[in-house]
Chains A and B, each alone.
Chain A
Amino acid sequence: MQTIDLSQESLRDLNKTLQSQPPDTNQTAWEVLNPKGSHALAVGLDAPITVTVRGSTGYYCAGMNKQATVIVEGNAGPGVAENMMSGTVVIEGDASQYAGATGRGGLLVVKGKASSRCGISMKGIDIVVHQDIGHMSAFMAQKGNLVVLGDAGDALGDSLYEAQIFVRGAVKSLGADCIEKEMRAEHFSLLSDLLEKAGADARPDEFRRYGSARKLYTFDIDNADAY
């Protein structure tokens, strides 16, 4: 395992080293010591490597991730895995606001809680949160799946497009144009797969599904006068 100690090396050098790994690198296991809440840690990676961060991170950890697996052994600050393209990001503790925002692909797992705006404007990412999520989560979410084992805060899925939301606990309130939908066979199978990948101890039949009522973002001929 390659070790980079942030008390010895700069954050820029860390990111440069990790970003310059070729697709066929033999150095696939990395650990980062003394992250001390640094911002933009392990961002823009594009190789099948595993980076384990031994501690908590600040803003935008693992942003724009492609292919790589990033594990944070602590809490993550705002915007973790923002705009992730592929790969896996695992937060062992809690994630701050807008975790997984605008993510296009890959899997984000938060083993603790995620605070407000989790999955805001997500565009294809899968997010699994083992505990609760805060208010305004999945706001304007377009594609992908948000799975919550705990409770969801206010205005879940406000102005939702075509992302799917699965919640096991209570939903404090649904946002505009977000409704509960039936769980069909394909949803049980999708959820079962995501729960397994995320190491989550839950059964698909404990969840409710929420999605867009499609009244807000679709053009309705009866509203033509309004435009």
Chain B
Amino acid sequence: MCGIVGLFLKDQALEPRLGAMLADMLVTMSDRGPDSAGIAVYGSAEPGLKVTLQSTAPETDFDALKAALTAEGHPCDFTRKDTHAIFSFETPCLDRLRELLAGGFPSLTLMSQGEAIEIFKEVGLPRDVVARFGIGEMAGTHGVGHTRLATESAVTTNGAHPFSTGADQCLVHNGSLSNHNNLRRTLARDGITFETENDSEVAAAYLTHKMQAGANLGAALEAGLDDLDGFYTFVVGTKDGFGVLRDPIACKPAVLAETEQYVAFGSEYRAFVGLPGIDTARIWEPEPATVYFWER
């Protein structure tokens, strides 16, 4: 199974409540997968660079990394949330950060990078994961969440969704891809690196690759219909967009709801019941092999 939720706000008045709404939606989907949970929240984009890092030694790693970066002339600040920290840089220095992480910080993992995105994910139930990271207090413009029933790779923090393979991009997936090994090799030849053996990470990297080549989110998803083989319902976030795609067989459930205030995605209708105005929302099942996306 796996459970997916997504929320794209149209009404700014709801932005302070984005985290609370999204967290409630995700907790409702807990029955669909108990292994791990994760959430991506897009806050208002700030100039500079924002990076989410996860550590297995959070007590020491984040301070040590900050010291190392500062010593090299890359001033930064960070806010720690449990095993994760959000680092912000006035001047982007992503390449050097990656080198530092690879060289001296084996217990740190880069979860996301960009101007707006923050990703929090860990092994455990959605209720516990959203509480650990205080998702309910977060403001934002849009976000996605996932609760995982693992099929294609190990139950680890890195195997949890969302997967982020490009600046301000993320993907969550319900299903399993059958051509991910082949596609991973193809993408690797184009210089794309992978953190896990997970099939969903390949889908995320594929879309990132298409968008780097100039496609917008809609066009990248459209291309995915030809190149991604298997079962999937995807929800994808970009800095200012939100997309949904189901494979042509469409076994994996999906429901969309739209009001004047928001667009919401859920694996099941249950995920929506706490949303404002849901009783009068337009509710429909996204069609198979059809790209849906919204951009602000």
Contact of B273 among A36, A93, A96 (CB under 8 A): A36
Interface status of A44 (Cβ within 8 A of chain B) = no
**Distance (whole angstroms) from the CB of A155 to the closest CB of chain B:** 11
Interface-central residue, B251, B253, B285, B287, by most chain A CB under 10 Å: B285
**Distance (whole angstroms) from the CB of B278 to the closest CB of chain A:** 9
Q: Provided the pairs A75-B283, A94-B285, A96-B253 are in contact, do residues A58 and B268 lie with their beta carbons within 8 angstroms?
A: yes
Contacts of B251 in A (CB 8 A): 97
Interface status of A135 (Cβ within 8 A of chain B) = yes
Interface status of A116 (Cβ within 8 A of chain B) = yes
Interface status of B288 (Cβ within 8 A of chain A) = yes
Contact of B288 among A38, A59, A134 (CB under 8 A): A134
Interface status of B228 (Cβ within 8 A of chain A) = no
Map CB proximity to B onto A75-101 as digits: 1 under 8 Å, 0 otherwise: 101100000000000000110110000
Contacts of B285 in A (CB 8 A): 94, 96, 115
Q: Across the interface, do A97 and B273 meet the contact criterion of CB distance under 8 Å?
A: no
Map CB proximity to A onto B258-296 as digits: 1 under 8 Å, 0 otherwise: 000000000011111100000000011101100000000
Contacts of B283 in A (CB 8 A): 56, 75, 93-94
Interface-central residue, A59, A116, A134, by most chain B CB under 10 Å: A116
A106-157 at interface with B (beta carbon < 8 Å):
115-116, 134-135
CB contacts between A and B, total, < 8 Å:
42
Closest-by-CB residue of B relative to A153 is B288
Interface status of B250 (Cβ within 8 A of chain A) = yes
Map CB proximity to A onto B4-25 as digits: 1 under 8 Å, 0 otherwise: 0000000000000000000000
Q: Across the interface, do A135 and B270 meet the contact criterion of CB distance under 8 Å?
A: no
Interface status of A169 (Cβ within 8 A of chain B) = no
Interface status of A37 (Cβ within 8 A of chain B) = yes
Q: Across the interface, do A135 and B269 meet the contact criterion of CB distance under 8 Å?
A: no
B70-121 at interface with A (beta carbon < 8 Å):
none
**Distance (whole angstroms) from the CB of B280 to the closest CB of chain A:** 12
> A134 to B248, alpha carbons, bound, how many Å?
11
Q: Across the interface, do B253 and A75 meet the contact criterion of CB distance under 8 Å?
A: no
Q: Across the interface, do A36 and B253 meet the contact criterion of CB distance under 8 Å?
A: no
> A167 to B273, alpha carbons, bound, how many Å?
34
Contacts of A97 in B (CB 8 A): 250-251, 253
Q: Across the interface, do B288 and A37 meet the contact criterion of CB distance under 8 Å?
A: no
Map CB proximity to A onto B217-237 as digits: 1 under 8 Å, 0 otherwise: 000000000000000000000
> A97 to B287, alpha carbons, bound, how many Å?
11
Contacts of A37 in B (CB 8 A): 268-273
> A101 to B250, alpha carbons, bound, how many Å?
16
Contacts of B284 in A (CB 8 A): 94
Interface-central residue, A37, A77, A78, A94, by most chain B CB under 10 Å: A37
Closest-by-CB residue of A relative to B270 is A37
**Distance (whole angstroms) from the CB of B141 to the closest CB of chain A:** 26
**Distance (whole angstroms) from the CB of A224 to the closest CB of chain B:** 34
> A36 to B272, alpha carbons, bound, how many Å?
9
Closest-by-CB residue of A relative to B285 is A115
**Distance (whole angstroms) from the CB of A104 to the closest CB of chain B:** 24
**Distance (whole angstroms) from the CB of B139 to the closest CB of chain A:** 27
> A115 to B249, alpha carbons, bound, how many Å?
11
> A78 to B268, alpha carbons, bound, how many Å?
9
Chain A interfacial positions (CB closer than 8 Å to B):
36-38, 56, 58-59, 75, 77-78, 93-94, 96-97, 115-116, 134-135
CB-based closest 10 A-B pairs: A37-B270, A37-B269, A36-B273, A115-B285, A56-B269, A116-B250, A58-B268, A58-B270, A37-B268, A37-B273
Q: A78-B253, A96-B285 are in contact. List 19 more A-B contacts (CB 8 A).
A: A36-B273, A37-B269, A37-B271, A37-B272, A56-B269, A56-B283, A77-B253, A77-B268, A77-B269, A94-B284, A94-B285, A96-B253, A96-B255, A97-B250, A116-B288, A134-B250, A134-B288, A135-B248, A135-B250
- 28 sample A-B contacts, Cβ–Cβ < 8 Å, listed by A number: A36-B270, A36-B273, A37-B268, A37-B270, A37-B271, A37-B272, A56-B283, A58-B269, A59-B268, A75-B269, A77-B253, A77-B268, A77-B269, A78-B253, A93-B283, A94-B284, A94-B285, A96-B253, A96-B255, A97-B250, A97-B251, A97-B253, A115-B250, A116-B249, A134-B250, A135-B248, A135-B250, A135-B288
Chain B interfacial positions (CB closer than 8 Å to A):
248-251, 253, 255, 268-273, 283-285, 287-288
